[in-house]
Amino acid sequence: MSESNNDIVGYDLIRNDVLQLVLGKEHDQLLYWVGKSLARKYKLEQVEELHTFFQQVYWGELHLSKQKKNEWHFDLSGDWMTKNDERSYQLEAGFLAETLETQFAIATAATFVKKGKTVRFTVHFDHKDTLAV
């Protein structure tokens, strides 16, 4: 195994096993809020930066697939995504929600569904709930 593969295996071990053991039944909720917190720490100025950021942190290949007024759809793929993939993608959902909320000053929430070898994120915008900048 090359060094980069070892890094990925270590990341997966922490992400998929250790965090679930430590966080227990609160795992998904806490990952969502950790994702939001990470987005505040690693502020991205433009939506286009999301693709590169996701690659750099080994979260996979992220692409904006559809834009509607009240929601945007992102597709995430990666080599590890198979029908046996049991990881939670709440960390990524929280990161997406907070990044877009910060960029547009509109309240957001993100959800996800697994579709084969892809995860589809839907970021919901609440245009009635604008945020002070």
CATH at residue 114 = 3.30.1380.20
Nearest-angstrom CA–CA distance, 108 and 124: 5
pLDDT in tens, 46-91: 999 999 999 999 899 999 999 999 999 999 998 887 777 778 899 9
Q: Is residue 82 part of a domain?
A: yes
Distance of CA 100 to the CA centre of its chain: 12
3-state helix, strand, coil in the chain (%, to 5): 45, 30, 25
Q: Is residue 15 part of a domain?
A: no
Answer whether 92's CB lies under 8 Å from 78's CB: no
pLDDT in tens, 14-48: 777 787 788 788 888 999 999 999 999 999 999 99
Q: Is residue 115 part of a domain?
A: yes
Q: Is residue 27 part of a domain?
A: no
Range of the domain at 52: 32-130
Q: Is residue 26 part of a domain?
A: no
Q: Is residue 64 part of a domain?
A: yes
Question: In the chain, how many domains are there?
Answer: 1
The closest alpha carbon to 110, from 93, 125, 98, 126, belongs to 93
